[in-house]
Structure 1
Amino acid sequence: MLVTCRFSSKPAVAPSSSSSKQSRHAPSEGAQMAGAAALARIEQKQRPKVHTSQDAIRNQGEKRTVLNPDSPEPMKDAACLSVSGVYFTCPLTGATLTKSQREVHIKEAILMRFEEDDIEASVMMVHTFNKDREKVKAAVDIISKYVDNICKNPSEEKYRKIKVSNKVFQEKVSPVEGSREFLQAVGFISVMLPVEAQEEEEEFLVLPEQSDDALELMKERRDRLQRGEPVRAQLDRQPQAFRPSPNAQRFELPPEFYNLSAEELKKEQQQRTELVEKNAMLRTKAMREREEQRERRKYNYTLLRVRLPDGNLLQATFYAWDRLPALFEFVRESLMDGWQPFELIAPGGQKLQESEEVTLVECNLVPAALLTFAWDAAVQADIAAAGGKSSAALLKPELLERIQTLS
């Protein structure tokens, strides 16, 4: 199998999220306050720096990947690539994004949701904008304690006042983006109040006294905060059907499939060559297997093709750490008769087992591989004996309508 990495200058354009917006009701005062606070926070921080991948091609000699770190110019046309790049889908807007676009786009999409549901938006903000999960949990626990104390003691004013300069608030809650927005969304307002033995007033977050129904609603919102999960862009598998081709085993991969930069790849190749020359006679089988595992961990994604019985090819992008059930599910959803059991055979004749929770890396299916599809022979025999017939077309119409010729 021939796998090549190439550069492409063809950009992917994310659809404008404004095009997908529905007509909305005017935002509430609380939503406007929370949204304004969230936007102010974002503007105060430096926008994420976009790192453009300059990955080059590694040379593995006896291995199947073809390397070319000295490629002089980026390619102007991506037509020769097996896939133009790695793309993601925003679960909030449906926009197709590149890796460098996804974080900024999702943050903007979350901030836009303050107009519709400030609780949902602030919960998303807490769980998505902050990478340290332990700090998020600590903040959520403290905010939950605020709510619990208020619900248990609704008439006691001290539980409905949070001193912003309080050490616990400053160290555990305030640094977590979205925490203050959530408190504002449940009804806290910012007020400057006098402090005993101080000349200057200090900022407090104060919750007006709540009715019984409002307290129950606070508990529900607390639960939503506790159950929150990060919003993550989903890998776009870019399913594509190809006609039968003698080039089925040839892959031209874009640089996004690799973890290392061109300079890192070149330096590592030199080091690996020197090490092999020194230890060629001393390496055991276990040492070689460990080295191969390290090699495979350099890939984030893998491009897989499945050769069907009619010769057509089905191609899709996967995470290198996706497990076999995800591969089988994708193939099944692409078939007209996906209910029928089938087999997938890896290069070298290894039969993959859908029930095994092993990663594609562990199956040696990175950075690209051609698999062979076969219907379960026993089931096919039963269908034939009963006088039944399988669909003439194996793939679903939406795939066949876009079928291409593999160059």
Structure 2
Amino acid sequence: MAEKIKKFFSRKKADAKFKLAGPGRKLNDESSSSKPASNPNAYKPLPRKDLSQESRLAAQAALMRLNEKKRDNPTFNTSISAIKAQVKKELEIERKNEAENVPVDAPQPNREVSLEASPHLAVTGVYFKCFYDNEILPKDEWKKKIRKILYEQLESGEIADYLIACCIIKSCNKGGEKIESCVEILCKYLDNIISNPTEEKYRKIRMTNRIFCEKVQGVDGALELLRGAGFKEQTIPNADNTSEEKYLVFDKDITDSMDTLTLIVDALQTTEPITLELDRNLQVLSPSQAASRMDLPPDFYAISPEEIKREHQLRTEAMEKSLMLRTKAMREKDELREFRKYRYAVLRIRFPDGILLQGTFSVYEKLAEVYSFVSENLEHEGLPFVLISPGGNKLSLDDDSDRTLIDLRLVPATMLIFAWDPSVAEEIDKSEQRDVYLKPEVMILMPQA
């Protein structure tokens, strides 16, 4: 009897579950298939307005001007120049193959695949400009080109040898301490002659001298400067005539007067190295394009990514053990140390229409440089605006203009929000071009979807 009661209540429970589930439906019945109810309060993105006729004409005119500039100056557009720099190596290989009559379909030697080929990189590399010409190149290629130009000028004889040698010393050597030590010793050599013009011992430099070998001979441009100052290489027997040694001997007939040596010393102390200007690598991206390009190339790191990961792991483990004993100042110091692993930063400025303006900066550049970069690309150039950090803080030129990107924690990649300054926002809202932010010649840089 008990078993029959249990079965009865089990059937009742099963029937109740089916009734609560609602009416039955056939799996192949399309009319009865359930559809999600539409939510009238759901967010719907506003459709982007088409360009007005005036904006279209302005864009066409800008495109014509750009094409004219590109014909006159192929490196006018920095982004195009950066792309050219990427394929330069391939072009050089092709020219070499043509010169050596290598068949086009000949097997190529194994080459290491470059990380710059990744489509997920925010930028393909870090590029620079120089006052010599308008070419955009990576730093290593610029160093080679500057060295080649300076030595060509040295051979041409159009400029005084010692002036070119000063530039070579300051621009073609690595290590600030190495250059400073060499300059100090060279100045001492010349000052000794200026102060003691009749002393024979100051007119000779033994080339096997330890200090000369360690701090002068291995520095590019040092020997060229001494030769330009009036030194000649000679072999002189030692005191007991048992052997000979090489010396640099000052020949007073080569140098017009002691005033020339004074000029050389002054040039050594005041000549500045040839500096490179960081190219912004200007890009304009749609939201979808920006989302697919997030990674940074190795050039952005002061150390290799593998070293960063290993050091970060060790520091994380150490901090977990002593987290409760660390002060806020200590944690901020460690955070700043993490940021100093980067040399460059990519900043993206997001406009209200969703378009992003992207530029490359040194981590030690100041916020004022970022504002200048944005301003020069605006259609309404000169009007005040504000940039808002991801945390919602306004980055003000009044308070933060002298702070670096590291100080502001905008490293290595950050998106800033653009907004018009409240003093002009209402006026712009009434304008017919209120939805236009970037110049037409800048907008045409955006890759086609």
Q: Above 0.5 in TM-score? A: yes
- The 1:259/1:148 distance shift into structure 2, 3 A limit, reads closer
Q: In the alignment, is the contact (CA less than 8 A) between 2:116 and 2:125 conserved in 1?
A: no
Contact 1:347 1:371 in 2 (8 A): yes
Matched, 1:200 2:274: no
* Higher Cα radius of gyration: 2
Residue 230 of structure 2 contacts residue 255 of structure 2 at CA under 8 Å; is this kept in 1?
A: no
Q: Give how far 1:237 is off.
A: 1.9
Deviation at 1:162, TM superposition (A): 3.1
Deviations 1:199-232 (A, max 9, x none): 3343232333259965434433332211123345
Q: 2:442 aligns with which of 393, 396, 399?
A: 399
User: Quick one: which amino acid aligns to residue 12 of structure 1?
Assistant: Q
Match of 2:265 in 1: 222
1:12 maps to which residue? 86
Structure 2 length as normaliser, TM-score? 0.61
Q: Report the counterpart of residue 253 of structure 1 in structure 2.
A: 295
Higher alpha-carbon deviation: 119-128 or 280-289: 280-289
Structure 1 residues 139 and 367, CA, compared in 2 at 3 Å: closer, same or farther?
A: closer
- The answer to whether the 8 A contact 1:93-1:109 is kept is no
Measure, in 2, the Cα distance between the counterparts of 1:160 and 1:391.
Answer: 75
TM-score by length of 1: 0.66
Cα pair 1:337 1:390 within 8 Å, conserved: no
2: CA distance, partners of 1:176 / 1:142: 12
How far apart in 2 are the matches of 1:210 and 1:132?
Answer: 35
What secondary structure sits across from 1:162 in the alignment? strand
Question: Structure 1 residues 392, 222: CA separation in 2 closer, same or farther (over 3 Å shift)?
Answer: farther
* Pairing of 1:344-383 with structure 2 (within 5 A): 344-354=387-397, 355-378=400-423
Residue 351 of structure 1, CA deviation: 1.5
Identity %: 39
Gaps of 5+ in 2: 1-83, 93-110
* Corresponding residue number in structure 1 for 2:346: 303
The Cα shift of 1:275 comes to 5.5
Distance 1:139 1:342, change over 3 A: same
Which amino acid in 1 is paired with 2:295?
L
Q: Following TM superposition, by how much is the alpha carbon of 1:366 offset from its aligned partner in structure 2, in angstroms? A: 1.7
Distance 2:273 2:374 in 1: 28
Q: Deviations over 1:80-136 (max 9, x none)?
A: 432222233455565443455455454444433423443343212222344443443
Counterparts in 2 of 1:259 and 1:131: CA distance versus 1, 3 Å: closer
Which protein has the bigger helix share?
2
Q: 1:239 offset after TM fit, Å?
A: 1.1
Match of 1:127 in 2: 170
- Cα distance in 1 for partners of 2:336, 2:144 equals 33
Paired with 2:178 and 2:117, the residues of 1 have a C-alpha distance of 45
Query: Residues of 1 paired with 2:212 and 2:310: CA distance?
Result: 48
Q: Which residue of 2 aligns with 1:86?
A: 126
Establish whether residue 333 from structure 1 lines up as the match of residue 358 from structure 2. no
Structure 1 residue ranges without an equivalent (≥5): 1-9, 19-51, 54-72
In structure 1, how many angstroms separate the alpha carbons of the residues matched to 2:266 and 2:433? Answer: 50
How many residue pairs get matched? 340
Letter in 1 for 2:86: A
CA–CA distance in 1 between the matches of 2:312 and 2:210? 51
The Cα shift of 1:316 comes to 0.6
CA 1:338–1:267 in structure 2 vs 1: closer, same or farther (change >3 Å)? Answer: same
2:390 pairs with 1:316: no
